[in-house]
Amino acid sequence: MTEDERSTETKLTTTKRRWAAAGKFLTGHVARPEDERLPPGQHLVKDWPVLDLGQQPAIGLERWRLDVTGLVEQRLSLDWAAFKALPQGDSLSDIHCVTTWSRYDNRWQGVLTHDLLDLVMPKPEATHVMLTSYDGYMTNLPLADFASEPAILATDWEGQPISRTHGGPMRLVVPHLYFWKSAKWLTRIDFRASDEAGFWERNGYHMRGDPWLEERYSAD
């Protein structure tokens, strides 16, 4: 465990590491997105539970910044005004947490990831992105998942700015993967030519995280 990981060690992280080791919540069933709306092992909630690494950084809009780096034709370093000046879009999606809750019909507003990709133009060798948050959290995504149609760099949820507890002022939402892949308090998107594990992936969680395939934990 690295120094950064030790600094974010909480009751939640130790518990979830035990879950990964034990394969907790796995049902062995496989549901297909076209057949089932609720993935296997999930249950519906009406609220939006709060889970984090024990830190909820307060990021004033005057100092907020998003950096887009790595294998792109056009690198970006956006302040809040520049980010809000990008084309804005809407997305309606369900969300599925690896801790077994799911919530239907979430309405998001922000910058759709495919609009960002049109702007930065990933190079042909780019296959993955690494996401970094203001609290030091990191998670990895295949570029194809980051570019999926409903994925959004969200600033608003249900018509209101996303709260600090849920990752405001801006978080990623990739609804077809478990929600740990949708990084809160996002500050950096790095395009890479290979995959690399992030925080939970180094702690026993799956490298991709497809809810319908129950990709909760690493096969190692």
Residue 38: inside a domain:
yes
Residue 197: inside a domain:
yes
Residue 26: inside a domain:
yes
Single-letter amino acid code for the residue at 81 = A
Residue 80: inside a domain:
yes
What residues contact residue 186 under an 8 Å CB cut-off, 6+ apart? 66, 131, 132, 133, 134, 153, 167, 170, 171, 172
What range does the domain containing 114 cover? Answer: 3-213
- Print pLDDT tens along the chain (220 aa): 444 444 555 655 565 455 555 564 455 555 555 557 999 999 999 999 886 666 789 999 999 999 999 999 999 999 999 999 999 999 999 999 999 999 999 999 999 999 999 999 999 999 999 999 999 999 999 999 999 999 999 999 999 999 999 999 999 999 999 999 999 999 999 999 999 999 999 999 999 999 999 999 987 6
Q: Is 15 helix (H, G, I), strand (E, B) or coil?
A: helix
CATH of the domain at 9: 3.90.420.10
Residue 173: inside a domain:
yes
Please tell me the distance from the alpha carbon of residue 131 to that of residue 128, in angstroms, as a whole number. 10
Question: 10 Å Cβ neighbour count for 173?
Answer: 23
Q: What is the pLDDT of residue 25?
A: 46
Residue 218: inside a domain:
no
User: Token pair of 124, please?
Assistant: 């042909």
Residue 220: inside a domain:
no
Phi, psi of 24 (to 5 degrees): -60, 140
> Domains in the chain: how many in total?
1
Q: What is the pLDDT of residue 26?
A: 52
